Amino acid sequence: MVENGYHSTQSERSICYIENEYARNTYYFDKTYYKDAIDAIKNFSIDHPEYSVNKINSIIDKLNIKNGTNNPHITENVIANWYSQYKAFQSNPELVALCKEKEIDSIYGVMGEAAPWENNYGWCETN
Protein backbone atom coordinates (compact mmCIF):
# COMPACT_ATOMS: atom_id res chain seq x y z
CA MET A 1 0.00 0.00 0.00
CA VAL A 2 1.27 3.47 -0.81
CA GLU A 3 0.82 6.14 1.85
CA ASN A 4 2.26 9.62 1.36
CA GLY A 5 4.36 8.30 -1.54
CA TYR A 6 6.04 5.60 0.59
CA HIS A 7 6.19 2.09 -0.82
CA SER A 8 6.65 -0.70 1.73
CA THR A 9 9.83 -2.74 1.37
CA GLN A 10 9.64 -6.42 0.46
CA SER A 11 10.37 -7.47 4.06
CA GLU A 12 7.60 -5.15 5.29
CA ARG A 13 5.15 -6.74 2.84
CA SER A 14 6.19 -10.36 3.25
CA ILE A 15 4.21 -12.93 5.11
CA CYS A 16 6.00 -13.89 8.31
CA TYR A 17 8.16 -16.99 8.24
CA ILE A 18 7.07 -19.49 10.87
CA GLU A 19 9.58 -22.20 11.77
CA ASN A 20 8.14 -25.70 11.39
CA GLU A 21 10.43 -28.34 12.84
CA TYR A 22 8.28 -31.07 11.29
CA ALA A 23 8.93 -29.76 7.78
CA ARG A 24 12.68 -30.24 8.09
CA ASN A 25 14.40 -33.27 6.72
CA THR A 26 18.06 -34.10 6.13
CA TYR A 27 17.15 -35.61 2.79
CA TYR A 28 15.96 -33.54 -0.14
CA PHE A 29 14.49 -35.71 -2.87
CA ASP A 30 14.45 -33.42 -5.88
CA LYS A 31 11.87 -33.58 -8.67
CA THR A 32 13.89 -36.28 -10.42
CA TYR A 33 13.51 -38.72 -7.52
CA TYR A 34 10.62 -37.34 -5.45
CA LYS A 35 7.92 -39.69 -6.72
CA ASP A 36 10.27 -42.69 -6.58
CA ALA A 37 11.03 -41.89 -2.93
CA ILE A 38 7.32 -41.52 -2.08
CA ASP A 39 6.58 -44.82 -3.86
CA ALA A 40 9.26 -46.57 -1.81
CA ILE A 41 7.83 -45.13 1.41
CA LYS A 42 4.19 -45.91 0.63
CA ASN A 43 5.09 -49.46 -0.43
CA PHE A 44 7.00 -50.18 2.78
CA SER A 45 6.26 -53.60 4.21
CA ILE A 46 7.23 -54.98 7.60
CA ASP A 47 7.64 -58.37 5.90
CA HIS A 48 9.98 -57.03 3.22
CA PRO A 49 11.54 -53.78 4.50
CA GLU A 50 14.69 -54.25 2.45
CA TYR A 51 12.86 -53.27 -0.78
CA SER A 52 12.06 -49.77 0.45
CA VAL A 53 15.32 -49.32 2.35
CA ASN A 54 17.39 -50.34 -0.69
CA LYS A 55 15.31 -48.17 -3.03
CA ILE A 56 15.64 -45.06 -0.85
CA ASN A 57 19.34 -45.67 -0.22
CA SER A 58 20.02 -45.99 -3.96
CA ILE A 59 18.28 -42.63 -4.46
CA ILE A 60 20.36 -41.13 -1.62
CA ASP A 61 23.52 -42.43 -3.34
CA LYS A 62 22.51 -40.80 -6.64
CA LEU A 63 21.67 -37.51 -4.93
CA ASN A 64 24.93 -37.53 -2.97
CA ILE A 65 26.85 -37.84 -6.25
CA LYS A 66 24.69 -35.23 -8.01
CA ASN A 67 24.78 -32.68 -5.15
CA GLY A 68 28.22 -33.41 -3.71
CA THR A 69 26.64 -34.24 -0.36
CA ASN A 70 27.33 -37.06 2.05
CA ASN A 71 23.91 -37.89 3.48
CA PRO A 72 23.97 -41.25 5.25
CA HIS A 73 21.84 -44.23 4.31
CA ILE A 74 18.61 -44.70 6.18
CA THR A 75 17.75 -47.65 8.38
CA GLU A 76 14.67 -49.81 8.53
CA ASN A 77 13.52 -47.84 11.59
CA VAL A 78 13.73 -44.53 9.73
CA ILE A 79 11.68 -45.69 6.76
CA ALA A 80 9.18 -47.35 9.11
CA ASN A 81 8.77 -43.95 10.79
CA TRP A 82 8.37 -42.21 7.40
CA TYR A 83 5.80 -44.85 6.41
CA SER A 84 3.86 -44.27 9.63
CA GLN A 85 3.83 -40.51 9.06
CA TYR A 86 2.79 -40.98 5.42
CA LYS A 87 -0.11 -43.25 6.39
CA ALA A 88 -1.23 -40.81 9.10
CA PHE A 89 -1.17 -37.95 6.57
CA GLN A 90 -3.10 -39.95 3.96
CA SER A 91 -5.77 -41.02 6.47
CA ASN A 92 -6.28 -37.57 8.03
CA PRO A 93 -10.08 -37.05 7.85
CA GLU A 94 -9.75 -33.38 6.84
CA LEU A 95 -7.34 -34.25 4.03
CA VAL A 96 -9.55 -37.11 2.85
CA ALA A 97 -12.62 -34.82 2.78
CA LEU A 98 -10.75 -32.03 0.97
CA CYS A 99 -9.34 -34.41 -1.63
CA LYS A 100 -12.74 -35.95 -2.22
CA GLU A 101 -14.41 -32.53 -2.55
CA LYS A 102 -11.72 -31.15 -4.90
CA GLU A 103 -11.13 -34.45 -6.74
CA ILE A 104 -7.44 -34.36 -5.76
CA ASP A 105 -5.15 -37.38 -5.55
CA SER A 106 -2.89 -36.90 -2.51
CA ILE A 107 -0.46 -39.78 -3.14
CA TYR A 108 2.43 -37.38 -3.68
CA GLY A 109 1.20 -34.62 -1.37
CA VAL A 110 -1.29 -31.85 -1.91
CA MET A 111 -0.11 -29.20 -4.32
CA GLY A 112 -1.70 -26.25 -5.99
CA GLU A 113 -1.64 -22.50 -6.38
CA ALA A 114 -2.32 -20.05 -3.60
CA ALA A 115 -5.34 -17.82 -4.01
CA PRO A 116 -4.76 -14.07 -4.26
CA TRP A 117 -4.51 -12.36 -0.90
CA GLU A 118 -7.27 -9.78 -1.19
CA ASN A 119 -9.33 -7.68 1.14
CA ASN A 120 -13.01 -6.74 0.86
CA TYR A 121 -12.21 -4.10 -1.76
CA GLY A 122 -10.66 -6.57 -4.18
CA TRP A 123 -7.08 -5.41 -3.96
CA CYS A 124 -4.04 -7.13 -2.57
CA GLU A 125 -3.02 -6.59 1.04
CA THR A 126 0.72 -5.96 1.10
CA ASN A 127 1.45 -4.81 4.63
> 48-98, pLDDT tens digit by residue?
999 999 999 999 999 999 999 999 999 999 999 999 999 998 999 998 898
pTM exceeding 0.75: no
Average pLDDT over residues 10-28: 59
Q: Are 85 and 92 in contact (CB under 8 A)?
A: no
- Nearest Cα to 80, choosing from 61, 52, 103? 52
Q: Average pLDDT in the 7-27 region?
A: 59
Question: Within a domain: residue 80?
Answer: yes
Owning domain of residue 33: 27-102
Residue 89 placed within a domain? yes
Contact 84, 41 (CB under 8 A): no
Question: Does a structural domain hold residue 126?
Answer: no
Instruction: Describe the chain by its helix, strand, coil percentages, rounded to 5.
Output: 45, 5, 50
Question: What is the count of structural domains for the chain?
Answer: 1
